[in-house]
Amino acid sequence: MLCILAEVSESGYYKWLKSTESRKLKHENELADYQLIKGIFVKENETAGFRTIVMQLYQQHGLIMNHKKVIRIMRKYGLTCKIRRGRCVDNAPIETFFGHMKDEVDFNKFKTYEEVVIAINAYIYKYNHLRPQWTLKKMTPVAYRNHLLNTA
């Protein structure tokens, strides 16, 4: 009688009832993936988009995750990346080292010139050694250079 009221077939109801355990397991797995994604997102000061997260998952955890899954989880849990918006005076929407640096380093928090120099040097190291790039076969610039030297 309840199936008739809910306009659901009896077989559909029993199939749904039988799959309760698998839905629970799927939700737990998604929650674990969300924790990994959020950890990377927070570590990158909420500037990491899905490409960065996919590359970091592989680099840090050895985990290959489909970019569509990362996008779906980020949308579901409201993890939106802070992105740079173009201005009329911009030359072009080309991403450059300096553009990334302005996005990822908060220069307003520094009080002395020395602090700025230290932050810039740290970012240069991070950019070259720790930050994989989508267009460099998902490798860091240094790893990609070594890869090219080894294959030549």
Look at the block and give the residue holding tokens 């779906």: 72
What pLDDT, on the 0 to 100 scale, is given for residue 87?
58
What pLDDT, on the 0 to 100 scale, is given for residue 50?
94
CA distances from 28 to 32, 50, 78, 92 (A): 6, 21, 18, 43
Please name which of 106, 82, 84, 79 lies closest in space to residue 95, comparing C-alpha atoms.
84
Question: Rounded to an integer, what distance in angstroms lies between the CA atom of residue 144 and that of residue 2?
Answer: 62
What pLDDT, on the 0 to 100 scale, is given for residue 67?
96
123 near 101, Cβ under 8 Å?
A: yes
What pLDDT, on the 0 to 100 scale, is given for residue 99?
80
Tens-digit pLDDT profile for the chain (152 aa)? 888 888 999 999 899 889 999 999 999 999 999 999 999 999 988 888 999 999 999 989 999 999 999 999 999 999 998 766 665 755 554 567 888 888 888 889 999 999 999 999 999 999 999 989 888 998 999 999 999 999 97
Q: Is the pTM of this model over 0.75?
A: no
